[in-house]
Structure 1
Amino acid sequence: MKTSIIGFPRVGELRELKFATEKYFRKEISAEELEATGKELRKKHWQLLVDQGIDFIPSGDFSFFDTTLDAAVLLNIVPKKYQALQLSPLETYFALARGYQGASGDVTALAMKKWFNTNYHYMVPEIDDDTELKLVGEKLFTTFKEAKEAGINTRPTIIGPFTLLKLATYHGTKQAVDFYEDAIIAYAQIFDRLAEAGCQWLQIDEPALVLDLSPAEVQQFKNVYQKLLVKKSTLKILVQTYFGDVRDAYKELIDLAFDGIGLDFVEGRKTLRLLEKYGFPENKILFAGIVNGKNIWKNNYKETLTLLEKLQSFGEIVLNTSCSLLHVPFTLVNETGLTKKVTDHFAFAVEKLTELNDLKQIIANKDENQPLLKANLDLFAQERFSKNDHVLQQINALTEQDFIRVPSLTERAVVQKDTLKLPILPTTTIGSFPQTNEVKQNRAKFKKGEITEAQYTEFNKIKIAECVAFQEGIGLDVLVHGEFERNDMVEYFGESLDGYLFTEKAWVQSYGTRCVKPPIIWGDISRSNPITVAYSTYAQTLTDKPMKGMLTGPVTILNWSFPREDISIRESTLQLALAIQEEVLDLEANGIEIIQIDEAALREKLPLRQTDWHSEYLDWAIPAFRLVHSKVQPTTQIHTHMCYSEFADIIQDIDNMDADVISFEASRSNFKILDALKAIDFQTQVGPGVYDIHSPRIPSVEEIETTLRNILSKLSVEKVWVNPDCGLKTRGVLETEASLKNLVLAAKKVRGGV
């Protein structure tokens, strides 16, 4: 039995790619030096997979920003406005990813959305009616050749035509079906070139097959591959799916001439039942996703072996990860701060390679008393999660009234208007201000014990005072303290809650060069002491304007943590909601009149199939948010923020969160959400982000003014707030200050004409 993985983390064990890419952005290294870093990392990772005994080693899963963007560039899906810049190929690539503002022109970045049900973000390809989809790139072939020259025969991987065209945005009259024939020609050319280069297998990722598919879409998928697979020649094709089961297309999938089919047995609830009901072809290899590629807990070998015993009756099997290991940290080796008693329960990317080999060896040796199996059985026989009886009693005592805020939204709006006395089109930011090297160094010194807590706090207070003075100086209406004490919007709160564990270098790529370090839920969650109150109340003493208290909501904290597997995510989220509720009430008691509870990741755990949305998620996720703020006074204004997902189809549920103000990412999605807000007569006040903070561009006053007028053509002026589309933590100081000055000026101009 052979082993395989779908993909591997690409930023490097110590985020080498992130740092090299950011140096390139700052013009501290050349394109050639950046390429050299990429080549060095690829070679290192391939050799690691060889040394770990992995039989099917992917290439093409490496990217300087995003593999969906790589596929678009490979296939000439580059809008004319980017081509017109006449930049180098690498500069054009980064213009698509980050936007560009320079001598060659001024363009915004492509839209960015969540990758299925993960915290990874992909760049959305843009297709115009005159887009000529054709093979123009070389990356897929050069990386395969690069590995081969290193003595490693890899399996190249590329996103498939069905998923690529389904995820794209179309500007014009044409849709995906109009580009299938061109895609077939282009992918057939990929087949030919790889076969000529000596490639044996090609992995084509089609994760869109786990979504709800109409009969017409299933037929389109079938038509594409019926035409394409006759052109594969000597090349063997693996179609790889992940994040769920393929119930809508399983019968069509197994009838097509694929040589291997990759199925997810971790998140695919119906995957095994599909095999048992419809069988699996003898002439195909089943790449069985049995090692979880998204969570960090050790694999339960006994349960997996029981599953594999059933699967072996279906023919040849390759042991596989459930999805790319991109979604977990690189290795446990660098986690010196956690005890062995703790780390014995974890498996990061490198350790999951070991699990695949362990299972391979155990299957080869049927003796149940062998050491590998016995050690795993002993591990899972241990009690590992710590319980808190008080928290469990609180959960059990919750009633329907605990999730309802009174008075109504409309009545509260009147009270808050009188209390806060804000102008129409009030201006604010989403919360964080740039985390400069000075800010990061202060935090690092404190964590290392190089400065005292008093010194650390005093530095933060100086930065807060500077931040408040700047906001007052440019005329923002609702201020924030800047969050200079926070490393990450989830990790910071996790560090202050009981029941969490933290890592040192367990970074996971979120998008481009942005990496996060998700905390780990180890036990029942509770709050022992106030978390944000001191800094928020200090900031309020510096101004007469409203100061927002800044919190992260329970659903986002859960979704951006590595969750327990012994209880439901619903129960963990309710525990978090009670803890954050205590923080909300403390902020209110200390004079903070506006409290923002961010739910940036609300949609992240939304089931991929719409039929499961409410019963499995929204019916408890929305009430969990309401639980956080249900006890505040009518005068306290509750804000929330959401970003980089498609919210239009759950917009009514978002309105039911019963916040007073909701800010959305909207700039990168061309403000499509406005139509959805208008269609349901959205009751909550709303702040559609008026410019994209994930790009280094500085929007002009005129640009923001035009955006605001477009917003007001669809929403009532009484309901609109003016803000950037996300926090400013990752941006530079100069671009941040210039952009916010333009935002305030634009708001005042529009306000004066209303």
Structure 2
Amino acid sequence: MVKVLSSNLGYPRLGEKREWKKSLENFWNNKISEDTLLSETKGIRFAALNKQKEKGIDLIPVNDFTLYDHVLDLSVGFGVIPKRFGEFTNAVSLRTYFDIARGNDTAVASEMTKWFNTNYHYIVPELDQVEPKLLENKALNAYLEAKEELGIDGKPVIVGPITYLKLGKGADKADFASLVEKFVPLYKTIIEELDAAGAKWIQLDEPILATSLAKEELALFEKVYEELRTAAPHAKLILQTYFESVDEYEAIIKLPVDAIGLDFIHDHGESLEKIQQYGFPNNKYLAAGIIDGRNVWRADIQLKQAELEILTRLVPKEKIIVQPASSLLHVPVTKKK
């Protein structure tokens, strides 16, 4: 019997009883030490991973948890740190990390703005005069932690290079290709190290693909992902989109990745229509986002089964991955009070 894979794009970081928020506030108010904060938040992270394992999820996300913001995590890992907070050649301290997010007595915090059309706000990367260098591979750390301490061979999740840089500010966007070229080697190193560590799947989030892009930007996607593909001779790369349908479907399905993640919830039916019209590559997995990741209501299983049956007429069952349409970041862990 052919098994359909299940996947999750990201888990709520808040904790079942809002433990994440409480731990952070206690730390900021000097009520707990850094070691206690790290211990408590590790407990939240492990509880989330174990729950997904118990529920039988095949591709469990790692590196989706953060102490403040996943975009900020990537920025500090790349050394994209505003100069008002200092110069760094190694991974930043927790104090500096929170200073960037919240400010301190001598430096204002980095700007926050909405993550696409959600209520989540991310820390905007400040890209002016940046010379990026890989100070920390947080995705690798998260992958090894889950594998070695929990026996979970997780799926590292990383914001992809085009989305990350398009969401930044301060760089010369007229020379966007040159900016991207600075970061591609860092992404390649992250992926190479994950591949060498045994990661079987790596998810690169590119929700910017659900917006309008110029032809040269789409061409840049092809060039960048051709390079990233070479960094993972063993791992499968998932190009993940969400929040809406993609405009340039025909170009996107030709990109050199192993799986394409599409939103079948907030797409107004367009994702299915495009597959019906243009087909889907036989050599790729379709990561079908058929569960709403942005509300708390239970999905209608019969309806979802019917939707899957339609997809299996278009894509081989063994090439379908069932998953939410977006990260579950946007919902509480439970409806219980």
- Classify the TM-score, shorter chain: over 0.9
Aligned partner of 1:181 in structure 2 is: 181
Aligned partner of 1:168 in structure 2 is: 168
What is the rounded CA distance, in whole Å, between the counterparts of 1:173 and 1:228 in structure 2?
22
Residues 70 and 173 of structure 1, relative CA distance in 2, 3 Å threshold: same
CA distances 1:575-626 after superposition (whole Å, capped 9, x unpaired): xxxxxxxxxxxxxxxxxxxxxxxxxxxxxxxxxxxxxxxxxxxxxxxxxxxx
Contact persistence 2:188–2:227 (CA under 8 A): no
Task: Return the letter of the residue paired with 2:55.
Answer: Q
Aligned partner of 2:332 in structure 1 is: 329
Aligned partner of 1:56 in structure 2 is: 59
CA distances 1:355-377 after superposition (whole Å, capped 9, x unpaired): xxxxxxxxxxxxxxxxxxxxxxx
The alignment of Structure 1 onto Structure 2 pairs a total of residues equal to: 328
What is the rounded CA distance, in whole Å, between the counterparts of 2:22 and 2:123 in structure 1?
20
Task: Return the letter of the residue paired with 1:314.
Answer: V
Task: Return the letter of the residue paired with 2:192.
Answer: D
Aligned partner of 2:315 in structure 1 is: 314
Secondary structure of the equivalent of 2:140? helix
Aligned partner of 1:96 in structure 2 is: 100
CA distances 1:79-103 after superposition (whole Å, capped 9, x unpaired): 21112599952111111110111xx
Task: Return the letter of the residue paired with 1:330.
Answer: V
Write out aligned runs for 1:204-215 (5 A): 204-215=204-215
Aligned partner of 2:284 in structure 1 is: 284
Structure 2 unpaired stretches of 5+: none
Task: Return the letter of the residue paired with 1:148.
Answer: K
Task: Return the letter of the residue paired with 1:78.
Answer: I
Task: Return the letter of the residue paired with 1:286.
Answer: L
One of 26, 31, 37 as aligned partner of 1:28: 31
Per the TM alignment, residue 296 of structure 1 is displaced from its structure 2 partner at its CA by 2.0
Per the TM alignment, residue 61 of structure 1 is displaced from its structure 2 partner at its CA by 0.4
Check if 1:7 corresponds to 2:6: no
Write out aligned runs for 1:369-384 (5 A): none
Per the TM alignment, residue 297 of structure 1 is displaced from its structure 2 partner at its CA by 2.1
Task: Return the letter of the residue paired with 2:262.
Answer: L
Aligned partner of 2:303 in structure 1 is: 303
Contact persistence 1:58–1:154 (CA under 8 A): yes
CA distances 1:123-142 after superposition (whole Å, capped 9, x unpaired): 1100112x112221132221
Contact persistence 2:209–2:241 (CA under 8 A): yes
What is the rounded CA distance, in whole Å, between the counterparts of 2:161 and 2:178 in structure 1?
12
What is the rounded CA distance, in whole Å, between the counterparts of 2:36 and 2:174 in structure 1?
40
Task: Return the letter of the residue paired with 1:195.
Answer: D
Per the TM alignment, residue 231 of structure 1 is displaced from its structure 2 partner at its CA by 2.5
CA distances 1:310-359 after superposition (whole Å, capped 9, x unpaired): 21131211110010111111113x2xxxxxxxxxxxxxxxxxxxxxxxxx
Residues 85 and 99 of structure 1, relative CA distance in 2, 3 Å threshold: farther
Task: Return the letter of the residue paired with 1:97.
Answer: A
Contact persistence 1:247–1:274 (CA under 8 A): no
Residues 138 and 225 of structure 1, relative CA distance in 2, 3 Å threshold: closer
Which structure has more RCO (C-alpha within 8 Å, separation ≥ 6)?
2
Contact persistence 2:14–2:332 (CA under 8 A): no
Contact persistence 2:222–2:256 (CA under 8 A): no
Aligned partner of 1:127 in structure 2 is: 127
Residues 190 and 138 of structure 1, relative CA distance in 2, 3 Å threshold: closer
Per the TM alignment, residue 148 of structure 1 is displaced from its structure 2 partner at its CA by 0.6
Residues 63 and 305 of structure 1, relative CA distance in 2, 3 Å threshold: same
Secondary structure of the equivalent of 2:253? helix
Secondary structure of the equivalent of 1:50? helix
CA distances 1:278-335 after superposition (whole Å, capped 9, x unpaired): 1111111111000000122221233322221121131211110010111111113x2x
Aligned partner of 1:464 in structure 2 is: none
Contact persistence 2:155–2:200 (CA under 8 A): yes
Per the TM alignment, residue 40 of structure 1 is displaced from its structure 2 partner at its CA by 1.3
What is the rounded CA distance, in whole Å, between the counterparts of 2:46 and 2:326 in structure 1?
22
Contact persistence 2:211–2:247 (CA under 8 A): no
What is the rounded CA distance, in whole Å, between the counterparts of 1:172 and 1:258 in structure 2?
29
CA distances 1:22-81 after superposition (whole Å, capped 9, x unpaired): 111111212121111121111111100011111110000000111011111111111211
Aligned partner of 2:116 in structure 1 is: 116
Contact persistence 2:72–2:123 (CA under 8 A): yes
Secondary structure of the equivalent of 1:76? coil
Residues 88 and 200 of structure 1, relative CA distance in 2, 3 Å threshold: closer
Secondary structure of the equivalent of 1:77? coil
Secondary structure of the equivalent of 2:272? helix
Contact persistence 1:291–1:321 (CA under 8 A): yes
Aligned partner of 1:195 in structure 2 is: 195
Contact persistence 2:64–2:157 (CA under 8 A): yes
Aligned partner of 1:138 in structure 2 is: 137
What is the rounded CA distance, in whole Å, between the counterparts of 2:309 and 2:216 in structure 1?
36
Aligned partner of 1:151 in structure 2 is: 151
Aligned partner of 1:651 in structure 2 is: none
What is the rounded CA distance, in whole Å, between the counterparts of 2:88 and 2:214 in structure 1?
40
Secondary structure of the equivalent of 1:126? coil
Secondary structure of the equivalent of 1:39? helix
Residues 134 and 252 of structure 1, relative CA distance in 2, 3 Å threshold: farther
Task: Return the letter of the residue paired with 1:184.
Answer: V
What is the rounded CA distance, in whole Å, between the counterparts of 1:123 and 1:308 in structure 2?
37
Structure number with bigger Rg: 1
Aligned partner of 2:86 in structure 1 is: 83
Residues 127 and 175 of structure 1, relative CA distance in 2, 3 Å threshold: farther
CA distances 1:192-247 after superposition (whole Å, capped 9, x unpaired): 11112111111100001001112222122222112221222112111111100112
Contact persistence 1:115–1:121 (CA under 8 A): yes
Secondary structure of the equivalent of 1:189? helix
Per the TM alignment, residue 257 of structure 1 is displaced from its structure 2 partner at its CA by 1.8
Secondary structure of the equivalent of 2:15? coil
Contact persistence 1:133–1:179 (CA under 8 A): no
Write out aligned runs for 1:573-588 (5 A): none
Check if 1:17 corresponds to 2:16: no
Per the TM alignment, residue 108 of structure 1 is displaced from its structure 2 partner at its CA by 0.7
Write out aligned runs for 1:542-691 (5 A): none
What is the rounded CA distance, in whole Å, between the counterparts of 2:18 and 2:308 in structure 1?
35
What is the rounded CA distance, in whole Å, between the counterparts of 1:255 and 1:144 in structure 2?
28
Aligned partner of 1:267 in structure 2 is: 266
Aligned partner of 2:45 in structure 1 is: 42
Aligned partner of 1:415 in structure 2 is: none
What is the rounded CA distance, in whole Å, between the counterparts of 1:171 and 1:54 in structure 2?
40
What is the rounded CA distance, in whole Å, between the counterparts of 2:158 and 2:79 in structure 1?
15
What is the rounded CA distance, in whole Å, between the counterparts of 1:143 and 1:85 in structure 2?
22
Check if 1:258 corresponds to 2:290: no
Secondary structure of the equivalent of 1:169? coil
Residues 173 and 299 of structure 1, relative CA distance in 2, 3 Å threshold: closer
What is the rounded CA distance, in whole Å, between the counterparts of 2:31 and 2:297 in structure 1?
39
What is the rounded CA distance, in whole Å, between the counterparts of 1:256 and 1:211 in structure 2?
17
What is the rounded CA distance, in whole Å, between the counterparts of 2:229 and 2:181 in structure 1?
13
Per the TM alignment, residue 180 of structure 1 is displaced from its structure 2 partner at its CA by 1.4
Deviates more, 1:35-44 or 1:168-177: 168-177
TM-score by length of 1: 0.42
Contact persistence 2:79–2:135 (CA under 8 A): yes
Task: Return the letter of the residue paired with 1:296.
Answer: V
Task: Return the letter of the residue paired with 1:273.
Answer: E
What is the rounded CA distance, in whole Å, between the counterparts of 2:307 and 2:85 in structure 1?
49
TM-score by length of 2: 0.93
